[in-house]
Structure 1
Amino acid sequence: MKHFFLLTCIFTTMNILAQKEVDLPFESDPNVNWATAEKEYYSDIWETNVVTNVAIPRLEVFEADQPNGTSVIVAPGGGLYGLSIDSEGRDVAKWLNKKGITAFVLKYRLVPTGVDGVQEISDESVNNPAKIGERVTPVLPLSIADGLAAITYVRTNAIAMNLDPNKIGFMGFSAGGAVTMGVTFNYTAANKPNFIVPVYPWMTVISDYTVPEDAPPMLVICASDDPLKLAKPSADLYSAWLTSGKITGMHMYSKGGHGFGMKTQNLPSDNWIVRFHEWALTENLTKPMLSIIR
């Protein structure tokens, strides 16, 4: 009887967990093939949990206990070789949940690698940087398509999840920022994000762009001392929105480096997500949590 109870608990837990992850529809590219299975592990190089070899795009669903209707799709960074799944994904989602925002962490398709994609991109960045561009080029369009599919999924299921189909945001970090902007430059009316938050976005991998006529509100986050030199392209992105008369804001921190995400560095950049929430409230993109009067 005890064994039966234990098995029941295990299967129930598995079902609950399964409901928290959603496969997204996608079209294959015969030129991109994965020989290594998707893997999540702790990277000593990046000092955080990472996911590599994503071949099937998925959403990890983080539902707020008191949903206020706003949702945000979160795209972690990692050079398209991996996903910094915690500090730029799940930890972000959990923080947003506390503000009543439902979050979806996007596992978009990545460059096919061996067992340690982080080691590969680290080695190539030193020994053969051009190879990174060669490997990323055919995959980025697939990643962007996954981002668009994520918006379609959330909007299609918004009412059933007590979400506002007109308050769907897209937030991406580094390579996830490239996905964010790729989504922004390729959306249709059906899969347009209602607001975007590129965080130290990898804009150099995006070709020349034009601000869409109906561009969504945008908040840019970056640090001037970003070692990958993403500060100027981030500022240029902000300027492009500003010059076009679109709703935009920017927080450019003097220090913070690259990949800070939800890490604690005892710097003002640690509070970037608080600044995002303030901006979202100001632009009426989300609602404040209602305090319970006892």
Structure 2
Amino acid sequence: MDDLASGRPHPRKSAGLALDRRTMFAGLMAASAGWSVSSGAMAAAPMRPFRETGQAIDLWPGTPPGASAQMPVEKIEDRSTIPGSPDRVIHGIARPRMVAFRPERPNGASVLVIPGGGYRWMTLDKGGYQIAQWLTEHGYTAFVLIYRLPGEGWANRADTPLADAQRAIRLIRARSAAWNLAPDRVATLGLSAGGHLCADLASRFTTAAYVPVDAADTLSARPWCAAPIYPVVSMDARIAHAGSREKLLGPDPSPRLEALHSVDRVVTANTPPHFLVHAEDDPTVPVENTLRLRAALKAAGVKVNTHLFDEGGHGFGIWNIAGKPVSAWPDLWLDWAGRVGLG
């Protein structure tokens, strides 16, 4: 059954999210068993400083699978309007990789961070590097996944992001001894379309998304746990994020393809525990996506910790949450990660 937010302060404090715990949790209320539905104002917190560090690790030896003769050309665009708060997006990825962020005091666990961007591009900073830096402040080694985008000419477009995510998990496990990491405790956390990939990986980790290339591919791609945050879930045109659906499946997908890539329809009893977050006023990805995923997880007997907030919109991550009910989610994740044995 779901975990219910207890309202007790967590002993760990997120740097840059130094909120008074009584204020933070005052807005949380249990609306029904297994739910956390929040409202009310939160204490203001300063914007966290941003530091770009990390080591890039290529996912594939040589050319990635499914490449065409005309490879995409990588481009990075900065959309920032706030000095000191970068907001870059990246697309045209021909060199899929993960960028490693290492904590000063590692706890042995790692998290694959999957940025969103509607499968059109990836939000490199706000959906990736800033999340990774927050994780390192709590002892987690973080790997930001720079995955190939499905609409950029790759064969088997709909499974191209999944292939990169599977490969990343396997590489982390294959190199865990060299990096002083526990090979089993590898989690995933994804936002928006990255939440779709996060949840897709969690249920389709055995799917043969690519032909094995080396010994790392003998290892499991199943995450220890998964955290899709305001995720794209369904490819049902009635509630799907239209841009993600078109980029992933093409302009006229068959009902079979739509079903296969609707994550709520591929959950199994072997899907790992999930942590779900969504704002009910999300204008971009309807909250029904998270509700469907929760229902599927419950039906399969998978543990799921669900947090809905009455306001917060879409794309809040950790950079745009000061003074909002959604500012509770990072500490809620830290508490949950500890309880499922990750940290």
**TM-score normalised over the length of structure 2:** 0.67
Q: Report the CA distance shift for 1:60/1:229 in structure 2 as closer, same or farther (over 3 A).
A: closer
Please identify, of 194-203 and 242-251, the stretch whose mean Cα deviation from structure 2 is larger: 242-251
- Point out which structure has higher relative CO (alpha carbons under 8 A, 6+ apart): 2
Q: Is 1:255 equivalent to 2:315 in the alignment?
A: no
Among all aligned residue pairs of Structure 1 and Structure 2, give the percentage whose two residues are the same amino acid: 31
- 5+ residue gaps, structure 1, are 1-16, 114-134, 287-294
Shift of 1:264: 2.2
**RMSD, aligned CA:** 2.5
Q: Which residue of 1 aligns with 2:335?
A: 278
| Letter in structure 1 aligned against 2:159 | P
Which structure carries more helix by proportion? 1
Aligned to 1:76: 115
- Deviation of 1:30 (Å): 4.9
Q: Provide Cα deviations, 1:41-62, integer angstroms capped at 9, x if missing partner.
A: 2126998211111122100000
Give the match's secondary structure for 1:65.
coil
Q: 1:165 aligns with which of 177, 183, 187?
A: 183
Change (3 A) 1:44 1:285: closer
Task: Write out per-residue CA displacement over residues 11-47 of structure 1, whole angstroms, 9 at most, x where no aligned residue.
Answer: xxxxxx7x81000027432569444x21222126998
Give the 3 Å change call, closer, same or farther, for CA 263–137 of structure 1 in structure 2: farther
Q: Could you tell me which residue of structure 1 aligns to residue 241 of structure 2? A: none
| Matching residue's letter, 2:275 | L
Unaligned runs of 5+ in 2: 1-52, 207-218, 236-260
Structure 2: distance between partners of 1:107 and 1:82: 10
Q: Give 3-state SS (helix, strand or coil) of 1:203's partner.
A: coil
Deviations 1:192-246 (A, max 9, x none): 1110001111112333623222221110111111112431110121122122222
TM-score between the two structures when normalised by the length of structure 1: 0.77
**Contact 1:263/1:270 (CA < 8 Å) preserved in 2?**
no
Checking the alignment, whether the CA contact within 8 Å between 1:34 and 1:112 is kept in structure 2 is: no
Aligned to 1:197: 227
Once the 2 structures are TM-superposed, how far is the Cα of residue 281 of structure 1 from its aligned partner? 1.2
Q: Name the CA shift for 1:224/1:69 in 2 (closer, same or farther; >3 Å).
A: same
**Are 1:40 and 2:40 an aligned pair?**
no
Which residue, out of 125, 134, 139, partners 1:95? 134
* Residues in 1 aligned to 2:67 and 2:309: alpha-carbon distance in whole angstroms: 42
Matched, 1:28 2:74: no
Matches of residues 211-290 of structure 1 in structure 2 within 5 Å?
A: 211-265=267-321, 266-286=323-343
Partners of 1:22 and 1:255 lie apart in 2 by: 37
Asked if the contact 1:53/1:81 (under 8 Å) is kept, the reply is: no
Q: Structure 1, residues 150-195: CA drift from partner, whole Å, max 9, x if none?
A: 0001111112211111110011111111111221232136111110
**1:209 partnered with 2:265:** yes
Query: How much has 1:75 moved relative to structure 2?
Result: 0.5
Aligned to 1:149: 167
